[in-house]
Amino acid sequence: MQKLPVLPLSDSVVLPGMVIPIELDESESRAAVDAAQTADDRLLLVPRPDGQYAPVGTIAELEQVGRLPNGQPAAVVRAESRAKIGAGVIGPGAALWVEVHEVESVVKDPERVAELSRTYKSLVTSILQQRNAWQMIDSVQKITDPSQLADTAGWAPYLDHDQKIELLAEPDVIVRLEKLIDWTKDHLTEQEVAEQIATDVRDGMEKTQREFLLRQQLAAIRKELGEDEPDGADDYRTRVEQAALPEDVRKAALTEVGKLERASEQSPESGWIRTWLDTVLELPWNVRTDDSDDLARTREILDADHAGLDDVKERLVEFLAVRQRRNRRGLSVIGGRGSGAVLSLVGPPGVGKTSIGESVARALGRKFVRVALGGVRDEAEVRGHRRTYVGAMPGRIVRAITEAGSMNPVILLDEIDKVGSDFRGDPAAALLEVLDPAQNHTFRDHYLEVDLDLSDVLFLATANVIDTIPQPLLDRMEVVALDGYTEDEKVAIGRDHLVPDQIGKAGLEPTDVEIGDEALGLIAREYTMEAGVRQLQRAIAKVLRKVTVQLDQAAEPDDHQPVAVTPDNLKDYLGRPRFTPETAERTSVPGVATGLAVTGAGGDVLFIEATEMDGEAGLVLTGQLGDVMKESVQIALSYLRSRGQAGDLAEHRIHVHVPAGAVPKDGPSAGVTMVTALASLASGRPVKSTVGMTGEVTLQGKVLPIGGVKQKLLAAHRAGLTDVIIPKRNEPDLDDLPDSVRGALNIHPVGDVGEVLAIALEDIATSAAVQNPQAA
């Protein structure tokens, strides 16, 4: 029996024969080392993993006391033998002293011990060979004492604390070796499985792809566990069976799930199938929103959001009324042929084509999705890509349905007139099936390859010009023209919508500023010459920004009167007017006539100038005129010469120019304007400054109908003209003209060029007065 101080070990177990450093990071361990120096440098190392002392410890000799390289105090001890802990005793210092009884190792069967020793040596050698620890192999092979051999397990990293405490407490060498052999065999088996997994992974992976490595490891682990079926296939089958899918879609989805179950986890096809199934399951196959039944409220919402646009509002109310009646009569069969509607809103920029889509969706109680088609040149953008392509995805129509979350949203096909085509196909042709109510109940996307019912979708298309829309596509849409706003409508839009919106964006309060109708009318008339209200919105924003600066610079910003913006002080905010009437100045000399045209930005006034000069007889045309417009000049000149009204034009060089030379121009509707300009030049009679005209002319002098009458008359009204000449066959188009504009214009429907010249040219007396004011 010995009396030794105790050094508890919280995170390690020391077996006899081990030499280890011990950090002295607690007062308890320091006291034990100090006490050991009074007991022949001997102490008892006792495991204490969970705060409880083990019954058996290790007698160790204190070899050295010093500091580690990091400066931490430490002691080096050499474990010598096992010892049972007895009763506590009193000893010097603050350490815990106990009685210890040294335990000798027991060898009951030397032959069995020798056999177990050989087995254990071979197992340890296998582990050390895997680690390339050849020096340690030599050291193990030289050990002849079975007890010492078993105690080398104290260095084994694959044994936990509990296992090492069992070895420390066991005096029988046979039992110790048997336990070690079992534990070591288990560890080697785990190592072999791990090595097999690593080998399987390395055989089928690229070393630079970490994600692929993890997937391969997962597959190898499943293979070792006997889980041959890829994880997730059952989940997809369950999701497909529980989803509310149409029967044909369900069959197609289950077929793809079967392919997924048979596909290898490493196959690229597995990822394609999962993506396709996710896309199909995300689509709202049987989700539909309920349309509003209150027609009056629908019209109120449309009126509140947009001024004017009565044609569009009436058509939408008609659509809703028809749908309600079909529902009441039980005719609203889902997927029915021809039950959808496609409206095409055609008009200049800034008239509210895009924003009206949101108002329509809100009025009907439907979801709204905008699909921008401007510049789209790939057919796959509409119909989707084939699944065989890398990065394949469904088309924009399918993505819009998914985004909306219902099968009956309002889908706005924005800028449909700007769809292009190239070697990748013609997107406009792909839209033929989408926008045909007789076909779109079985629309088939190339990616999905299943029928998708679009018959309940309300399609709204927007375009600036109708000419660039292919005729087959245009035939499938119901065109509603938005020709622009009158000045009164612009004032109403500015007062009710633009000013309140811009006040908030400028950080103002409604009580900070007052903009009257007269000021808004002046802005629309002299600062913005447009069919829509986009420039009007920018002008109002500019005014309010300057008002904000004015208020911030006020002496008492918290106590002020509202800033009044009036016609008198509008110049202080916007500068000089940008647009002033110029027709009288331009037409003050013979040879200049005022025509009316339609551009992508709406109606506009077009001046045609003609002059004659000495030189070789001929015709010079400038102003970027197209072929049709050049032919109109030839026709006008031929008509005048055939009627003897060309004077001496045939003997001189004639130059016809259409200003705004940087803008290309074409079309036949300037024919009467060409005749009038040349007749004015030949007769010396100026064209009346209040007259504008439009119409195609023939060699016989007939005036043929043209398009865009409403936009042209609105442009004439904006330009301050009072008399407008139009073809007689366009007279029915006047029904679309707002009453305020129609009342302000003297409209002259004509069928012959002679009538045009009689109305447009000044009489002889007036002409003489204009050319020679002093004689008059």
Per-residue pLDDT tens over the stretch 92-104: 888 899 999 999 9
Q: What are phi and psi of 480, to 5 degrees?
A: -120, 115
Q: Counting Cβ atoms within 10 Å, is residue 89 exposed (0-12), middle (13-18) or buried (19+)? A: exposed
Is it the case that residue 770 has pLDDT exceeding 50? Answer: no
What is the set of active-site residues? Answer: 669, 712
Instruction: Report the b/e string of 129-145 with b at 16+ CB within 10 A.
Output: eeeeeeebbeebeebee
Average model confidence (pLDDT) across the chain: 84
State how beta strands 341-346 and 97-103 pair: unpaired
Residue of 710, 717, 713, 673 lying closest to 695 (CA atoms):
673
CA within 13 Å, CB half, 25: 10
Global pTM?
A: 0.60
Q: How confident is the model at residue 382 (pLDDT cuts 50, 70, 90)?
A: confident
Angle at 577 between CA 571 and CA 578, to 5 degrees: 145
Q: Which residues are annotated as a binding site?
A: 347-354
Known binding-site positions for ATP: 347-354
The region of weakest confidence among 118-122, 371-375, 629-633 is 371-375
- Kind plus residue range of the DSSP H or E element containing 164: helix 161-169
Q: Please give the domain boundaries of the chain with CATH numbers for all domains.
A: 2-103 (2.30.130.40), 110-199 (1.20.58), 229-282 (no CATH), 295-394+406-481 (3.40.50.300), 487-574 (1.10.8.60), 583-771 (3.30.230.10)
pLDDT of residue 341: 67
pLDDT bin (cut points 50, 70, 90) of residue 137 is confident
Higher pLDDT, 45 or 257: 45
Q: What is the pLDDT of residues 470-479, one digit of tens each?
A: 888 888 888 8
566-602 pLDDT, tens digit per residue, is: 888 888 888 888 877 677 777 788 889 999 988 767 7
Q: Encode pLDDT of 512-540 as tens digits.
A: 888 988 889 888 888 887 888 888 899 99
What does DSSP say about strands 592-599 and 19-23: parallel, antiparallel, or unpaired? Answer: unpaired
